[in-house]
Amino acid sequence: MSKLLPVALVQHSNSTDLAHNFAKTQDGIRKAAAQGAKLVVLQELHRSLYFCQTEDTERFDLAETIPGPTSDSLGLLAKELNVVIVSSIFEKRATGLYHNTAVVLDSDGTIAGKYRKMHIPDDPGFYEKFYFTPGDLGFTPIQTSIGKLGVLVCWDQWFPEAARLMAMAGAEILIYPTAIGWDTTDDIDEQTRQCDAWVISQRAHAVANGVPVISCNRVGHESDPSGHSEGILFWGNSFIAGPQGEILAHASAKDDEILTAILDLKRSEDTRRIWPYLRDRRIDHYQDLLKIYRD
């Protein structure tokens, strides 16, 4: 028998107006729920601009506690609409200690759990190591009223180890709140290669683990406050894929969208029966995976 789960993600552009951004997010959640979604996934750091383009201590003012204003508001909304919400918050754990954290609000409004981003990038335009301490909660799925969610964040999406560990711990869906885009000086061929690699990598996680994937990115151009670059053009292309990597829904590169699909979670078991990757893993020969590199 099928186990159907209507899901949605909210892809949108952001501005310097935090209240406007959050209102847009909440409106997207309401529209998704009105379309029948029982799980709604938000993009990475959906409350603000992507502030990591520069290193600026004033940006720490954006951080908040969990529980805190954003999680409280979304908890009330989750309860009102009877949906599970995956949010992304700049978490202030203590003075001088901050994380890039995904928090899951269950359909009764409570915090089901959180995940602190484990892989932290440090590249031109993505200076996240200045802001975020690497996560310390490990790769543990979050139990909710609709099932076990394997929540990861953005840069985590390039690491098959993270997806595998979530799946091995029983995650029924892999979820990636994301903020990724192009350097505007890249030519169209390079832009295409980068976006294709991003989609392919995450679809591969679905295939290799036999579970659906939900990836939610933002859209729009955000300028570099320092003026050292032309900023980032976030490429959207949010998508929902099934357990064989098949695309169930795919958003545009430019527009605000509420993307919906119906996941049949029973298909994960059917898929794993005919593609038994977990059965055939040779863990007795994987010790070198614990090394940075084999010299």
Active site residues: 44, 117, 154
Q: What does the block give as tokens for 1?
A: 């028998």
Specify the residue for token string 């940006």.
Answer: 59
274 burial (CB, 10 Å; 0-12 / 13-18 / 19+) is exposed
What backbone phi and psi angles, to 5 degrees, belong to 272? -65, -25
**Is 19 exposed, middle or buried (CB count within 10 Å of its CB: 0-12, 13-18, 19+)?**
exposed
Q: How far from 236 is each of 134, 209, 253, 254, CA to CA, in Å?
A: 25, 24, 4, 6
Half-sphere exposure of 207 (CA within 13 A, CB side): 9
Query: What span, in angstroms and rounded, lies between the C-alpha atoms of 105 and 124?
Result: 33
For residues 174 and 149, give the distance between their C-alpha atoms in angstroms, rounded to a whole number.
Answer: 6
Give dist(CA 14, CA 220) in Å, integer.
7
